[in-house]
Every structure is written in C-alpha cells, then in structure tokens.
Chain A
C-alpha cells in the first residue's frame, strides 16, 4: 500500500505531537481529519488491515462446513456466522480507509499474498467438532481482544469494534453449545471433540500475538492507547475464562503444566511453541497458500457481479438523463 515517506520532524511537529499525546492521555478519541503522527497512522493501517483481512479469511475454514452441517439449525447458524464475518471485514476495511488507504490497495495486498492475517485461519477444519471449537476458542479469543479494542483511541476503529462485539457474542455461544452437546454424545463424538480441542488450543493462545518480551509494536501502541493491555495480559485473561468452561463440559485442555495459582488467581500455562507461530506467520502453515488462493478466486469469480452492477447503474443513469 502507498505510504507517505517519513518527513523530517520540525519544531511544529513536536508541538503537534505533544498536543496529540495530551489528547490521548485525556481519554479523547482521534478522528480521521485530526492531526496524527505518521507513525500512528501507519501502525493503525497495519493493525486494522490485518484485522479486516482476518475477518475475511476467517470465512473460509467455516464456509468449508456449511454444506455438511449436521442439522438445519446448525446450517442456519453457520451461514449467519459466516455472513457476520463478511460484515465485520467490511466494517474494518471502511474504518481503515478513513486513514487514506483505498480498499483496492488493501485487497490487492491480500490477494498478492503480501498481507498478514491471523495465523489461526491457516489451520484446517477437519471435523464438525472443529466448528464448535472455533466458535468457542477462536471467537472467544477474538472477543477478549476486541472488547479492549472497542476502547481504542482511534474513533472509527473503536466504533467498528463496538458494532462487532455486539454481534460476536452469538458466535462464541453457538460454538460452545456445539461442544457442550458433543460432550454429552457417544464415545466417538466425545473423542472427536477432544481431538479438535487438542489441535486448536495452542494456536488459539498464539492468536494474542508474540510474548511481550518479543512484541516490537506493543510499547508505542499502548502509549497511544490503540492497545490497552499487552498480548500476555490478554492471553492470560482468555485462559482464565476458558479453563472453567472446559471443566464444565469435561474436556481436557492439552497442557500438562496448566495449574491454578491461588496467589494471582490465574491459571498458569505451559510454554507456547513460538517457532510454530513464526513459521505460520511467515507463510509455512498448513493452509496459507490455499487460503489466499481461495480468497482470490472468490474475488475474481465475483467480477461479473460487479460488472453487472455497474452496467445496471449506467443504464438507469442514462434513462433518467433521457427522461429529463
């Protein structure tokens, strides 16, 4: 995407920066036309476009199961959820555009395989239980993240997050319901659920991003109140929320080191395999290439719909001109 080159900072910029930081410290929101440091704009474009891409690519693992949902109720739910993800991608793309980048540039980057998105979506959905576990873990983790982002200092991002949070609670509940029902099922169904939990648990913890000790962007984002908590704090919050939910449906989380720490009131968990995380981020996950190819095919296959919409609008415009 096009980025304005870094300009030499002047005394005027220093004054503006101080005023900008004072506004943020006072809890004000920054709106598109307000002055903002170039670095703030770039960080937001990076973070928000990754978020929008994640919503879009996130449709693929679940869309994979729409035709195979085990009942009409589950199929309606899954269709509605996937449609929501498209809507969420839309909200965030629009919010990103307010920073002076075009939708086309963002989509071109995604389709060229240059854009990042949440690495969780590069894992396959092998069984129906995966759909339950995605709702429970992946949407659960997303809610933890997004509830905090709803207080982000950039107004359009915060507003998009508020809208998304309102819609996303259904995503988590339907997923947990699927898991709860399977946990009461046959031995084969219980085994299928446990297998899905085993495969999704660690990638879900990785969704919060690298550990604070290795997160290069965190300090600045926290100072500018784009982020309100660190990756590790949010990861811990997710673990604390999820452990009792797993206990309630007799599912084991695949971590022998998971233990309650009465001093902090938190569940301590084992070491995350960050090599796996970085490998998937760098494009070597199970399905990175397939996801981008499927996204690009969906876009290309929809070209005739966009062409038809333009032709229709042109015809209507010509008619109303002729009638005038």
Chain B
C-alpha cells in the first residue's frame, strides 16, 4: 500500500546542514521527497528538530558523483606519499619562529 500514489518511490535527497555561519555544511543523512521544496521542509523536521541549524542544502542523490571503493588506493595514495606537501618536510634554522 506504500505505492498507492505514483507507484514508485519518491526521489532520494542527501541533506547537508550548517550549524553556525562560517561552518562547513556537513552531511546529515538522507530522505525521500517529491521535490526540492518538500525535501527542505522534511529536512528541517528530521535533521533540524534540535540543535542549531542555520542553513540546509538538499541535493538529489542521483546528482552526486562519488569515487568508488576500488579506486581508493591509486586515487588517494599520492597525497600520502608527497611528504614535500607537508611543512615538516622543510628544515629551518634552529630558534627561528616561522609562524
């Protein structure tokens, strides 16, 4: 009986919330909604019921392009190996305050 309307599940939306201005929007969860307006209303009820939320984003889940788990090694490995991207890689004269 869940399908008595259109006979299909409403689209899935990913919800991102911002707790304070200046903070990043963080993934809070997901929900089904018939359109963006309803997704925002439902997101407020589900993820903004308590605790401060100053801004909401809802994104159709199908619009998200994600890396795949099998890529994880080759895709992210260079970041870990590139020690020269980290400040500790560089030597400075003893006793100098650099920051």
Interface residues of chain A, those whose CB is within 8 Å of chain B, are 31, 33-35, 83-84, 87, 90-91, 94, 97, 102-104, 107-108, 111, 159-160, 163, 166-167, 296, 299-300, 303, 306-307, 309-310, 312-313, 316-317
B5 and A94 contact, CB distance less than 8 A: no
Chain B residues near A159 (CB, 8 Å)?
29
What 9 new A-B contacts, CB under 8 Å, besides A313-B35, A313-B37? A31-B69, A87-B45, A87-B46, A103-B2, A103-B32, A104-B2, A309-B38, A310-B5, A317-B35
- How many residue pairs link A and B with beta carbons under 8 A? The number is 59
Q: Mark B19-47, 1 if CB is under 8 A from A, else 0.
A: 00000000001111011011000000110
Does residue B96 face the partner (Cβ distance < 8 Å to A)?
A: no
Contacting residues, chain A, for B50 (C-beta < 8 A): 167
A224 to chain B, nearest CB (A): 17
Q: A87 to chain B: which residues have CB within 8 Å?
A: 45-46, 49
Quick one: given A33-B66, A33-B68, A34-B69, are A310 and B3 in contact (CB under 8 Å)? Answer: no
CB of A104 within 8 A of CB of B38, answer no
Complex interface: chain A residues within 8 A of B49 (CB): 83-84, 87
A310 touching B34 by the CB < 8 A rule?
yes
Q: Does more than half of chain A's interface fall in helix, strand or loop, or is it mixed?
A: helix
* Cβ A108 vs Cβ B32 within 8 A: no
Inter-chain contacts of A167 with B (CB < 8 A): 50
Which residues of chain B have C-beta atoms less than 8 A from A306's C-beta? 4-5
Determine which of B1, B12, B46 lies in contact with A299 in the assembled complex, contact meaning CB atoms within 8 Å: B1
B1 close to A300 (CB less than 8 A)? yes
Look across to chain B and name the residue whose beta carbon is closest to the beta carbon of A110.
Answer: B2
Contact A309:B69 (CB < 8 A) given known A83-B49, A103-B9, A104-B9:
no
Cβ-defined contact, B31 with A94, below 8 A: yes
